[in-house]
Structure 1
C-alpha cells in the first residue's frame, strides 16, 4: 500500500530544502582571504575582530581644529569625501576621515549589523584614531542611518552633525499614514516591492533582487526617475564614463549582499527607535535636501524637520539628490557646520 503521507512529507521537506538553498546568499569574499580581494587600505581592528578601512583628508590630525567622520552613501566607499576645496580645509583646519561602512570596500562585513552597531563602529573608529572626546559627523544619503544612530546612541561624543539628503524610512511611526502612503505610492513599483521586502521579509532580499522577472529596486539598477536635470546628466555621464561601474566594483567587491542589500535592510527595515522621538540635542544638527530629489521624498523630509525644530533645515531649490556634484557645496557644508566654532 502506498504511503501517501510519507510521500507528501518527503516532497515538502525537499521543497523546503530547495527553497532554503535558493534564498541563502553566497558567503562574502573577505578582503585578505584566499581568493578574496587584496587589502590595500589602512584599517583598524574592532573589538569584535572585524576591520574598518578608512582614508584621511585635509590637514594633519595633530594640527586640526576640527575632526570630522564622514559616512558615505549607497554605492560609495572610503574614497568618497565631501569634495570641499583644499583651501577651505586648510583655512578651517579640518581633518576628515571617511571609512568603508561594514561590507563595503575593504571593511569586513557585519551580518549582525544594526543601527546601534553602526554608531558603535563610528565611536570605535574615533577612539582608534584618537579624535578626542567629541567629533563632528557628516553623512550622505543612506549613510544617514549612521548619523541618526549616533545622535541616538552616542550623543555625548558628537560635536555637530550634517545630514546630506538622508534617506527616509517610510515606516517611522511618527509619519502621518496618509503622508507616508502618498510618498510611497509615488515610487516605482520595483522600489515599492523592495521596500516591502526590506521591512517584512529581509531574509528574502538577496533572492528577490537576483530574479530578473521580479520588480526590484531602481536605485540598485540605476534606473530611478530623476526629475532634476543635473542629476540626470550626472548619472548619464557616470554610466558613459565608467565611473558608476568602477564605484560599484569597489563598493561591492566582497559581495553585494553585505554591502548594498545589508544597507537596505538596516535603513529600510524595522528601526529600533523613531528619530522623531529624539529630544533636542546639545549640538547643532543641519539637514540639506533638494526640492527635486528623485530618491528621497521632499514631503517626508519637510515633515520630519517640522517635527524636530532643533534641526536646521536647508532646502535647496531646483536641486536633486546628488548634492555633492555642485561646485562649492562641500565648502558650504563645512562653513555652515563649523561657523559657530570658527569665530
Structure 2
C-alpha cells in the first residue's frame, strides 16, 4: 500500500507498506542514496513473521519533497507522521547505512512509541568524541564528507551531475564503487536478484533530483540534534568488520555510547552484508525479551 503523507509543515512524504497488514509494524529506513524501494525481506518472509514493513522516501528522495537544512533528528518527526497516517501507535525501527542514524533518532526522540531499534552499518555523529571519524573510510566518502564541511557549494556542484548519470544508468553507481568494494561486497552485489533491487532503489532515489543525497551528506556532517546516550529502548548494532563505507569504528563507538546496546560484529563481512542480515535482524526486532542476535563482541 502506497500513501502520500503530509508533515506538520505541509511537506509531502511518499511511504509504502508491505507484508501482513495485521502484523507487528517495523519501519525500515533506507540507505544513501536510496528510497522506500530499497532491498527488504520478501513478502513471504514478512507474512511468516507476521510483520507489516513500512518504508518512506526521506525528503528529497523519490517522491518526497525536499527539506533544506534537515538534521538527523528530523527523521523522528517524519517517522511519527508516517506512523500516524497508518494508524500505528508503537513500532520497531531498523535503519541500514544512511538510515542507521535516523533509526537511532527515533529511539532517542520517540521513547513512548519505539519498542526496539536496529542500526546496521551506521555512521556515528561527526562530532563524536574519541573517534577518528575518517579512519578506515573509502576515499570517495572521505572526499564527500570533507567537502560538505568545507565547501558545501562545491559538493552540490559535484553531486548534481553524478546523480543525473545514475538516474540514466543506476548501475553506474555500483560501477563507481567497484574499485573500493571488498571481495565480500563484490560477491554480494553480484547476485542478480539483489543487484536488481539495488538498481531499482538507486533509480527511484535520484529520480527527481540529487537533493536527498546532498542533504543526507550535509546532515551527517553536522550535529545530529540528539545524543545517542539518551536512548533507553533495546538497541542492536550490526556491522561488518571489513566495511570501508561506514567503518566499524563507528559502531564500536555507538555501542559504548548507547546504554545496554547489543553490538554484533561479523569479522568476515563488509558493508553490503547488512542486506543478508536483515531477516535475522527483523526476528530480533520482534522479540519481547532482550536476547542478543548472534555473538556480541567487546566494543
TM-score normalised by the chain length of structure 2 = 0.81
Residue equivalent to 1:232:
186
* 1:1-343 pair list within 5 angstroms: 41-60=2-21, 63-64=22-23, 66-83=24-41, 86-87=44-45, 89-132=46-89, 134-169=90-125, 171-174=126-129, 176=130, 179-180=131-132, 184=134, 186-209=136-159, 221-223=176-178, 225-227=180-182, 229-235=183-189, 245-256=199-210, 258-275=211-228, 278-279=229-230, 281=232, 283-326=233-276, 329-340=277-288
Give the RMSD, CA atoms, in angstroms.
3.1
SS in 1 for 2:279: helix
Q: Which runs of 5+ in 1 are unaligned?
A: 1-39, 213-217
Q: Alpha-carbon deviations, 1:209-250, whole Å to 9, x = none?
A: 4699xxxxx9994346122x2311344567xx7765543321
Q: d(CA) in 2 for partners of 1:249 and 1:339?
A: 34
- Number of aligned positions between the proteins: 281
Q: Alpha-carbon deviations, 1:26-56, whole Å to 9, x = none?
A: xxxxxxxxxxxxxx95312222221111121
Q: Which has the larger Rg?
A: 1
Q: Alpha-carbon deviations, 1:62-96, whole Å to 9, x = none?
A: x22x1111111113211125315624x23432111
TM-score normalised by the chain length of structure 1 = 0.72
**Gap change, CA 1:300 and 1:112, over 3 Å in 2:** closer
Q: Which runs of 5+ in 2 are unaligned?
A: 163-172, 292-299
Q: d(CA) in 1 for partners of 2:185 and 2:120?
A: 15
